[in-house]
A and B are shown apart, each in its own frame.
Chain A
Amino acid sequence: EVQLLESGGGLVQPGGSLRLSCAVSGLTFSSYDMTWLRQTPGKGLEWLSTISASGANTWYPDSVKGRFAISRDNSKSTLYLQMSSLRAEDTAVYYCAKVFGSGNWDYWGQGALVTVSS
């Protein structure tokens, strides 16, 4: 059974940093591109970043480029999202997901809540 389990969410002050992790099991992690997405009541679902299977290539939308950094450790089957200069509008549930084809996702984690507030 494929499982993706996010961790590292919580309360962070504006301007602060946070690193999310996503532990993956049940598949050959090193074979798949992986993605982070988030969901807010206001903006809905938003794609944040994708990393290639090897980790050599990463992609971001302009909205988070320079503030968020995706990475992976294939030896640990773990995906990461380093977030910096956090703002109130980054408050969301963050999901990791396995890329199915290109730009779509067939397995998702359960989500990690990040709250940016003083």
Chain B
Amino acid sequence: DIQMTQSPSSLSASVGDGVTITCRASQSVARYLNWYQQKPGKAPKFLIYAASSLQGGVPSRFSASGSGTDFTLTISSLQPEDFATYYCQQSYDAPWTFGQGTTVDVK
């Protein structure tokens, strides 16, 4: 199985800050990398697919990049609704696997 590792596990930031989350795969997943946002008590929300393509309706302050084994998710200017947990997930090879999550909370 492909292991997905995110860093950091958590970070504290303020509204307006830029934040970057890193995701590393245990083997190459090409660009088959997705990002989800989850708020407490809610289902994950699909943000980004194919490493850098924004899902419809996702604000442009979200961006992502990477290929192979190393990927990043960046929020350019954190908004109040962005405080949440973010997960990367590989769709290169089954079983599809997720990172452990990165929680972005209020500083």
Chain A interface residues toward B at CB < 8 A: 44-47, 59, 61-63, 95, 97, 100-111
Mask, B48-79, CB within 8 Å of A = 1, is: 01100001000000000000000000000000
Which residues of B lie under 8 Å from residue A46 when comparing CB positions? 98
B interface with A by C-beta (< 8 Å): 1, 32, 34, 42-46, 49-50, 55, 87, 89-92, 94-101
Main SS class of interface, B: loop
Question: Which of B34, B89, B92, B94 is within 8 Å of A59, CB to CB?
Answer: B94
Known: A44-B101, A45-B89. A103 touches B96 (CB 8 A): yes
Asked whether A106 and B95 contact (CB < 8 A) given A44-B100, A45-B87, A45-B89, the answer is no
Complex Cα gap A107–B92 (Å): 20
**Known A101-B91, A104-B91: A44·B46 in contact at CB below 8 Å:** no
Other A-B contacts than A45-B98, A103-B32, A104-B34, 18 sampled, CB-CB below 8 A, are A45-B44, A45-B87, A47-B97, A59-B94, A61-B94, A61-B95, A62-B95, A63-B95, A100-B49, A101-B49, A102-B91, A103-B90, A103-B94, A106-B46, A106-B55, A108-B44, A109-B43, A111-B43
Residue from B43, B92, B94, B100 whose CB has the most chain A CB atoms within 10 Å: B43
